[in-house]
Structure 1
Amino acid sequence: MKNKFIYLAIIAAGFASCEPEFENTVDADYTSGDADFTSYVAIGNSLTAGYMDGTVSRVGQTYSYPNLLAQQFALVGGGAFTQPSFADDVNNFGGLALGGLQIGNTRLVIDASQSRPENIAGTSTINVANLQATAYNNMGVPGAKSFHLLTPGYGNLAGVALGQANPYFVRHATSPTATVIGDAMTKNPTFFTNWIGANDVLSYATNGGAKPDGTTPADDHNTTGNINPLTYGPNDITNAGVYENVYRNMINTLTNGGAKGVVCTIPSVTSIPYFTTVPFAPLSPTALGGATNIATLNAQLYGPLDAIFTALGEPNRVNPLSATSANPILIFDADAANRSAQITAALSGTLGVPTATAFGMVFGRARQATANDLVVLPASSVIGSVNSAAPAGININGVTFPMANKWVLTTTEKTKVANATATYNAAIRSIAATKNLAVADMNAIMNRLVSGLQIETGQIYTANYFSGSATEGLVLFSLDGVHPNARGYAVITNEIIKVINQHYRANLPLHNPSYFPGINIVSSN
């Protein structure tokens, strides 16, 4: 099929340096190659659904990468592409409501007068109970883990309040006992994309390792040999064997009728802005109240703790605060040696047994954060705030009271995330090879994005969070710090198109990411 399209070209051959880019209009023979896009079905989670800024909204959904892919597929005979209806999102607020209660937050926006993200003011008009009972081409379900796609009842309205069903799938499941993969197969796919598995490890990471304060390493069952997903907590890492079996089942089902497709690897989730925006050492001398206050903190808390830990062979676990440079936050580390008894014993003579006991309980697994720790994005509003549940006098989060486990992903926890991601991706590649499917290496793309990803227009994007209007056009992530914005989804779409063109000998045009919106800035909220 012959069409017109705009592209940017760089004249390089024969010149000592690159000439400026320019636009040129050419005729192109677009073809589907060895692929058949008559019925394209997308399987996945929030990344497939078009989730951004903390929700799925009526407008945001239109920028989902499957929808952008389908637009290009239509140029070579691709059939109609449908997505779950969000027509009831009349104000484009996103969010979810059930029984008159809001169960999902509205989308995040930047209030230009305050320059910080906040949920858009208003109430969601998306009622989960308005059942569509329809299978769609885009079967991306926000929040879904791999095994959820094969679980009957995952779309049962009665299970939402019990935490047994997914409200997004409930809205369009064809029956209370339907499965995501089963509904997808009713579309008789000739081509598919499958990008599932990020949530199998992401929820563990975004919850700071998913271990409650006060636990010991033995209490962490997230990476054991548990092969029964029905017993998993919401933040547990999915067992590698379970993931591989589920993934193989899905691919066998999707290809049973001869469909071809693209599978996507799982990105390194710890490289996204959710984990890289808040520094481990944000406590400036000014923020700590100046030199006098710092001296008091060192005399009454940091000095004694440093002395105790040093005597126990851990000299750098806590160091005195600096009055001239930024300081790390104090954190709870469930994997640290518990020094509660030693702290109590060392301080009983000066503080008295009751106070010393309280100190032992609070700081027994405390340490200062290091550059190897990742502080999650929501922690920015917690650091330095008063902890109402902490003892008086030592109740400032991150300063005199350790930040709770959920706010920090430690080195040990990062390793568990990395190991799970690596095993998932090995399974994806291995299973894809048995069916000769194309692989879009989104993990590699994320790694390139961290250092700087240059796209076809010459523009360079990085994995940064929104930091003001000056860099608005360079940001590919939405305000939730996890999901792409519209421009980011366009970049993802192009990476998948490149893989299709190469593996299936197709000729599909790319989108120009600069034509897509970035961060949503409102004048007031």
Structure 2
Amino acid sequence: MKVKYIWLLAVLLGFTACENDDDSSNGGGMELPALTAGEADFSNYVSLGNSLTAGFSDNALFIASQENSLPNILATQFAFAGGGSFTQPLMNDNIGGLILGGTPVFHPLTGEQLFKPRLVTTGGAPQDLEDVIGPVTSTTDFLLNNPTGPFNNMGVPGAASFHLIAPGYGNIANFPAAANPYFIRMTGATPDASVLELAMAQSPTFFTLWAGNNDVLGYATSGGDGSSTITDQATFDFAINTLVTTLTSGGAKGVMANIPDVTSIPHFTTVPHNPLDPTNEDFGPQIPLLNSIFGAINQIYVALGQPERAIVFSETEASAVVIKDESLDDISAQITGALMASPTFPAFIAQFGLDGGNPIVVQLVANLLGQTYGQTRQATENDLFVLPSSSVIGEVNMDYAGFLAGQGLPAELADQFAIEGITLPLEDKWVLIPTEQAEIASATASFNATLETAATSAGLAFVDANSLMMQLASSGYSDGDFTLTSDLVTGGAFSLDGVHPTSRGYALLANEFMKAIDATYGSNFEASGNLVNIGNYPTNYSPTLQ
């Protein structure tokens, strides 16, 4: 049994955010005041941060996304108020991705390709670029063709707060254990210099600092499976305070932003908890057999006083996927014992073509069922699924099927018991259960308190990016001409990876940054009509853009 869900195609109906008929003119031709920088000095602007300041979009960094990055948009407007030139470590193409010594980079444990080309859409769900236009290879080689600095945009994709002050983070000799390839491209003749050191070497007069997102994001995007941890509070506080104290030591002014609630972004809100459609011809006819299989397990759940773990698939409505919940008690041994003690179990497994009269076979199957469903339940609306889970739900996990076949199950039966989210519970990496969401919320609140206190104490402008992202997720954000929402592909604010903004989203953020600068330093970007028109920035890039 193989189930495929192309559920996004039913809801993704367009590319851009909705336009309305509001007139955003300057109020009937009234003369606007001249632009002034107020107390700010934009002559040497430097930006520090992570992927959100680098211009990351569609799961990649590429020339077009960098040209429409938040700092570059700001620098363009700062130029009208005394700002100087603004340089960025541009990639070599619009393909996105990175290579090392002419070849792609792969994860040493999983074999998964890292730093892949960008995602694209042709009207539906996000796709890999090569699936649309054919084989592509990035030409940005962080060993062979790095650009020459210094760079005003010091945004480093993947960097956590403490990485910005870490020496050697841009030294290729430390890759992959302790160096970032995007920063390797920026360090040049000083490979051990930190991001902060390279920023200060430019004697900035004004800076933007948006850091901390990756201190929780990695934990969230990995489903809280432990492969990436949340930064401890003491480390975060030390990093942020070091950054702010150092950046302001020469009298520079600046603006900071806090961390959005990552669980409100489309990377975690797009995949439904109940995508199993009974009208699907691959899934629907199998429901009676599935309910028969789980019926035996459900009786054990009830007997153990845990009926809420019962797994039942509806023949009339969409059903929730099956997940592994590590917060549940592990009752694998109890399930195995109960099955072995059941006089009907041998006949039960015989219906699958197995030898129910063979005690070894009976023990094997009982062990496998116990191990598989010892911490299992169906998902609820309180669970959040990472965006990549959409590509595995309903698919046969070939590794697990191979394991089952190796235990003696026939290949066809092994496949049937290895269907992700149906007979094989989705692993922790695909879902954020409520306890994991609570960890993220607690850390985000604590980190944001540190960020706001640091900004206030130093007299810096401050952007509440968290509230802005929450607004996008709830009612949407309208600037008068355009309304942006957090809907994937169609909302206009978030790019195809569901985490990073589109260029239009970055333009919206740039306007919020300028408003905060106005409020703190007496500039008048908004009053003088020098906020950007977000409609001039795209929401999607063509697959043919090279």
Shorter chain as denominator, the TM-score bin is 0.7 to 0.9
Counterpart position of 1:106: 117
For 2:63, the equivalent position in structure 1 comes to 58
Residues 141-173 of structure 1: per-residue CA shift (max 9 Å, x gap): 00001111111110011222x332100000111
8 Å Cα contact 1:155/1:179 also seen in 2: yes
**Does structure 1 conserve the Cα–Cα contact (< 8 Å) formed by 2:169 and 2:180?**
yes
Q: Say if 2:543 is the partner of 1:499.
A: no
Does the 8 A contact of 1:195 with 1:263 survive in 2?
yes
1:237–1:73 CA distance, 2 compared to 1 (3 A):
same
More off after superposition, 371-380 vs 98-107: 98-107
Q: Per-residue deviation at 1:287? A: 3.0
1:511 is aligned, of 519, 532, 536, to: 532
For the aligned residue pairs, the C-alpha RMSD in angstroms reads 2.0
Query: Do structure 1's residue 262 and structure 2's residue 255 form an aligned pair?
Result: yes
* CA deviation vs aligned residue, 1:295-351 (integer Å, no higher than 9, x gap): 1111112x2222222222222222321111000101111221101011101112315
Amino acid at match of 1:23: S
| Matched residue, 2:41 | 36
C-alpha distance in 2 between matches for 1:484 and 1:412 = 27
5 Å-filtered alignment, 1:388-467, equals 388-390=398-400, 391=404, 392=414, 393-466=416-489
1:139 paired residue number: 154
Q: Which residue of 1 aligns with 2:183?
A: 169
Q: What is the deviation of 1:447? A: 0.8
Match of 2:377 among 367, 371, 378: 367
Which residue type is aligned with residue 486 of structure 1? S
Unaligned runs of 5+ in 1: 1-17, 212-232
- Paired with 2:545 and 2:451, the residues of 1 have a C-alpha distance of 45
Q: Which residue pairs with 1:287 in the alignment?
A: 280
Residue matched to 1:203 = 218
Distance in 1 between residues matched to 2:210 and 2:312, nearest whole Å: 47
Which position in structure 2 is the counterpart of 1:97? 99
SS of equivalent residue, structure 1 residue 444: helix
Alpha-carbon distance in structure 2 between the residues aligned to 1:436 and 1:116: 42
Contact 1:386 1:395 survives alignment (8 Å): yes
Partner Cα distance (2:545, 2:82) in 1: 44
Residue pair 1:329, 1:398 contacting (<8 A) in 2 also: yes
Amino acid at match of 1:365: Q
Following TM superposition, by how much is the alpha carbon of 1:291 offset from its aligned partner in structure 2, in angstroms? 5.5
**Partners of 1:452 and 1:54 in 2: how far apart?**
25
Greater mean alpha carbon deviation, residues 25-34 or residues 70-79: 25-34
Equivalent-residue separation in structure 2 for 1:115 and 1:272 (angstroms) = 16
Alpha-carbon distance in 2 for matches of 1:61, 1:19: 30
**Secondary structure at 1:111's aligned position in 2?**
coil
2:242 paired residue number: 249
Between stretches 182-191 and 341-350, larger displacement belongs to 341-350
Residue aligning to 1:331:
323
8 Å CA contact 1:290, 1:323 repeated in 2: no
**Structure 2 SS opposite 1:261:** strand
Indicate whether 1:340 and 2:336 are aligned.
no
Q: CA deviation at 1:132?
A: 3.5
Counterpart in the other structure of 2:355: none
Contact preservation (8 Å) 2:24, 2:481: no
Please state how far the C-alpha of 1:290 moved relative to its aligned partner. 6.0
Inter-partner Cα distance in structure 2 for 1:482 and 1:296? 39
- Partner letter of residue 375 of structure 2? R
Retained in 2: the 8 A contact 1:333–1:365? yes
Q: Deviations over 1:85-138 (max 9, x none)?
A: 33x32xx211111112123211111135x7642224411000101233523111
The amino acid of 2:315's aligned partner reads: A
In 2, Cα distance between equivalents of 1:144 and 1:105: 18
- Identity across matched positions, percent: 44
One-letter code aligned to 1:388: M
- 1:306 correspondence with 2:298: yes
Cα separation, 1, equivalents of 2:240 and 2:486: 28
Matched residue, 2:166: 151
Distance 1:499 1:115 in 2: 35
Q: Secondary structure at the match of 1:489?
A: helix
Q: Matches of 1:125 and 1:131 in 2, distance apart?
A: 11
Q: Distance in 1 between matches of 2:542 and 2:317?
A: 34
Q: Does 1:480 align with 2:497?
A: yes
Aligned partners of 2:45 and 2:84 also within 8 Å: yes
Q: Is the 8 A contact 1:452 1:460 kept in 2?
A: no
Deviations 1:367-392 (A, max 9, x none): 11111110111011100000123231
Per-residue CA deviations over 1:244-300 (Å, capped at 9, x if unaligned) read: 111001100000001111110000011111101100000011237465521111111
Name the TM-score, length of structure 1 as normaliser.
0.87
Per the alignment, residue 206 of structure 2 pairs with 191
Distance (whole Å) between structure 2 residues aligned to residue 397 and residue 107 of structure 1: 26
Residues 109, 117 of structure 1: 8 Å contact kept: yes
Distance (whole Å) between structure 1 residues aligned to residue 533 and residue 303 of structure 2: 60
CA contact (8 A) 2:52 2:157 kept: yes
Cα distance in structure 2, aligned partners of 1:67 and 1:44: 13
Is the Cα–Cα contact under 8 Å of residues 321 and 327 in structure 1 kept in the other structure? yes
CA pair 436-22 structure 1, distance change in 2 beyond 3 A: closer
Q: Matched residue of 1:29: which SS?
A: coil
Q: Is contact 2:222-2:430 (8 Å) kept?
A: yes
Query: Are 2:22 and 2:481, in contact at CA under 8 Å, matched by a contact in 1?
Result: no
Q: Give the secondary-structure state (helix, strand or coil) at the position aligned to 2:199.
A: helix
Contact 1:111 1:524 in 2 (8 A): no
The aligned amino acid for 2:422 is V
Q: Deviations over 1:6-38 (max 9, x none)?
A: xxxxxxxxxxxx995253554431011111111
Q: Equivalents in 1 of 2:171, 2:21: separation in Å?
A: 58
Q: Deviations over 1:41-97 (max 9, x none)?
A: 1110000000001111011100110000011111110111111133x32xx211111
Deviation at 1:511, TM superposition (A): 0.8
The reply on whether 1:489 has 2:506 as its aligned counterpart is: yes
Whether contact under 8 Å (1:84, 1:138) holds in the other structure is yes
Q: Unmatched 5+ residue regions in structure 2? A: 1-19, 106-114, 347-361, 405-413
1:78 aligned onto 2:83: yes
Cα separation, 1, equivalents of 2:272 and 2:64: 33
Deviation at 1:458, TM superposition (A): 4.5
| Cα distance between partner residues in 1 of 2:298 and 2:211 | 45
State the AA in 2 paired with 1:450: A
Paired residues of 2:169 and 2:178 also in contact (CA < 8 A): yes
Paired residue secondary structure (1:386): coil
